[in-house]
Amino acid sequence: MIRSSPPAVELQHDIKGRSLWQDAVRRLARNRAAVASMIVLAVIALLAVFAPMLSPHPYDEIYWDRIQMPPDFANGHWFGTDSNGRDLFVRTLYGARVSLMVGVLATAVSLVIGVIYGAVAGFVGGRVDDIMMRLVDILYALPFMFFVILLMVMFGRNIFLIFVALGAVEWLTMARIVRGQTLSIKHRPFIEAAHACGVTRTGIIFRHIIPNVLGPVIVYVTLTVPQVIMTESFISFLGLGVQEPLTSWGVLIAEGARLMEAAPWLLVFPATLLALTLFAFNFIGDGLRDALDPKDR
Amino acid sequence: MSDILLAVRDLKVHFPVRSAGWRGAHCHLKALDGVSFDVRAGESLGVVGESGCGKSTLARALLQLIPPTAGQVLWLGEDIAGLGDRAMRPRRRGLQIVFQDPLASLDPRMTVGDIIGEPLRVFQPELKPDQIRHRVETLMGTVGLLPHMINRYPHEFSGGQCQRIGIARAIVLQPKLVVCDEPVSALDVSIQAQIINLLMALQRQMGLALIFISHDLSIVRHLSHRVMVLYLGRVMELGHRDGLYRNPLHPYTRALLSAVPIPDPDLERARQRVTLTGDLPSPLAPPTGCVFRTRCPMADRRCEEHTPLLEPAGPGRQVACHHWRRNADT
């Protein structure tokens, strides 16, 4: 005779459930490329913040006697000096500050605007959706460079204008992605259930829709950051970006490309760092997509 | 008759449909076409019918999740048909729903505690988090879930447990009426019995009224006081459970009941079946006259020309058929 035995374990403590987010983090931690990329990014970010303090040279000091010198460890010019005799190591890391800041801040701006805009358009639907998305289409059609040049002419060169311009352009794609995701989940039964429980529309958007569309959004964010860094580099390359003596990777690469034959180190160091950063973000994005959507693999 | 909670009068839900092609002609899918019934406090009304007959639409239209096209839904005597979100919100407290798909009706990113506590946060914002937690834990015990699972997520539960969560969410505000939209059809049989017994126990304890939508006639018989038979968005027959099951008056009800298997091989072999031929007609182009006439063994000219109205046929009994008297004695 089989007797049902009492549960062997005393269940007194609450069992902590594993959320889908925690599952995703666990899967991400198993992805070597993604973890390595996060380490690389962390190192670059830390260097950008602290390394200029370690170097004996300020970023805008001109050494008249050391113009366009190759890398030399003896005098502390680890990456050499540029055509104006300034230390390239410090300037590259200052450029990293600007580029990473632009990347992160412009993406954050686009994230906030895009997610809310897209979720509202998708959830409300109907005519509101039509009008909101046509507005996005119109803004999409506006040439980006034209927009940037217009801003520069009107307000002068200012680093915050770059954030504004980049954020204003990047949120459009974000809004489209979020709207699409919202459309696909707004008829799921749990949204209907929230409605039946008396949750307001705003409550449904913020408590139910947004947490559930965040997966693809996070992936897109990690792909937007390198895109924004690239765009900033491009603007700076054209001479519309940050103002001297401040610098960014784009400015440094533009100068390096000009002097590529005479002083290759001017191109190699900033370009390598930029490429490393872009690779890292892309690998993280890839890893996140696999981690958040295990069915997709 | 002061104990009537919900009175539905001539409820219609039509969906506009555009046929294929560029600027296709508009037509209407009549998911519900003139449904009327009452629900009294504490009783359970079973709603049966084959798929596509408007059962789920009925559930949603009662809760104003789909705006009815016409007709009245009188909740505690006031018409709530077509009320906006804001006006509807305070009335949702007494009128809740349990959905068909247990897992899909729970937000995958929320813990069980958050899901069950959500109606409390909406309607009693003055409650502190630990008060909500306490209420949720008590309720989890009531519906047969272990309270220490409060921090778990829906995907960590089985279908039956998910449905218990769905039921807990529906009763947390102590509603007067819970609409159950096929709450057990996604579960396997042994779990079905547990959920049915849970619903019946809750009904006794809390004095709940239930509208129990199902295509499983045996379950409806087990659980309902009264039964309503729907076909193509119309009420075919409505009556007390025993009367309706023992002596079905509408030919459709007879066909439905004769299709229920009997768990005894000898009886099963011996019984007479009424087999329906053909399929459910398209609700886009329902037959003229009686909607059931295309499959009805008793149909004649009259059924083609005149739509039978729901007429009283004995105490508490209503039938929509011209020929119900011929079935009355057999």
CB pair distance less than 8 Å for A15 and B151: yes
Q: Specify the higher pLDDT residue, A72 or A199.
A: A199
Determine which of A85-89, A197-201, B99-103, B308-312 has the lowest per-residue pLDDT on average: A85-89
**Interface mutation vs chain B, best among A9, A12, A197, A207, most B CBs within 10 Å:** A197
At B311 the pLDDT is 87
**Does the structure's ipTM exceed the value 0.90?**
no
Stretch A37-56: mean pLDDT: 83
Q: What is the per-residue pLDDT across B43-73, written as a single tens digit (0 to 9) for each?
A: 999 999 888 888 889 999 999 998 899 999 9
Question: Averaged over B117-128, what is the pLDDT?
Answer: 91
> Which comes out higher in pLDDT, residue A91 or A6?
A91
Segment A12-34 mean pLDDT? 76
pLDDT value at A10 more than 50:
no
pLDDT at A7 over 60: no
Alpha-carbon gap: A6 to the closest alpha carbon of chain B (Å): 15
Q: Under an 8 A CB cutoff, do B92 and A198 touch?
A: yes
Residue A14 reports pLDDT greater than 70: no
pLDDT at A295: 54
Who has greater pLDDT, B260 or B196? B196
**pLDDT of amino acid A45:** 87
Shortest Cα distance, chain B CAs vs residue A207, angstroms? 9
A8 confidence band (pLDDT: 50, 70, 90): very low
Please tell me the predicted confidence (pLDDT) of residue A4: 44
**In terms of pLDDT, which residue wins out, B173 or A5?**
B173
What confidence score (pLDDT) does residue A296 get? Answer: 46
- Domains in chain A: ranges and CATH: 34-57+90-296 (1.10.3720.10)
Instruction: Tell me the shortest Cα–Cα distance from A190 to chain B, in angstroms.
Output: 4
State how far the Cα of B38 lies from the Cα of B235, in Å rounded to an integer.
Answer: 13
Closest by Cβ to A190, choosing from B93, B105, B148: B105
pLDDT of res. B23: 62
Q: Convert the pLDDT of each residue in A252-278 to its tens digit.
A: 888 888 888 877 888 888 888 888 988
Please tell me the predicted confidence (pLDDT) of residue A1: 38
Q: Is the pLDDT of residue A297 over 50?
A: no
Cβ separation of A208 and B151 shorter than 8 Å?
A: no
Express each pLDDT in B3-20 by its tens digit: 889 999 999 998 888 766
**Between chains, do A199 and B151 touch, taking CB under 8 Å as contact?**
no
Residue B168 has pLDDT above 90, yes or no: yes
Kindly identify which residue of chain A lies nearest to residue B63, measuring between CA atoms. A196
| Predicted TM-score of the model (pTM) | 0.81
- Residue in A with minimal Cα distance to B123: A198
Output the pLDDT for position B21: 59
Please indicate whether, in this complex, the C-beta atoms of A201 and B85 are within 8 angstroms of each other.
yes
User: Mutate which of A190, A208, A293 to test chain B, going by most B C-beta atoms within 10 A?
Assistant: A190
Position with higher pLDDT, A214 vs B118: B118
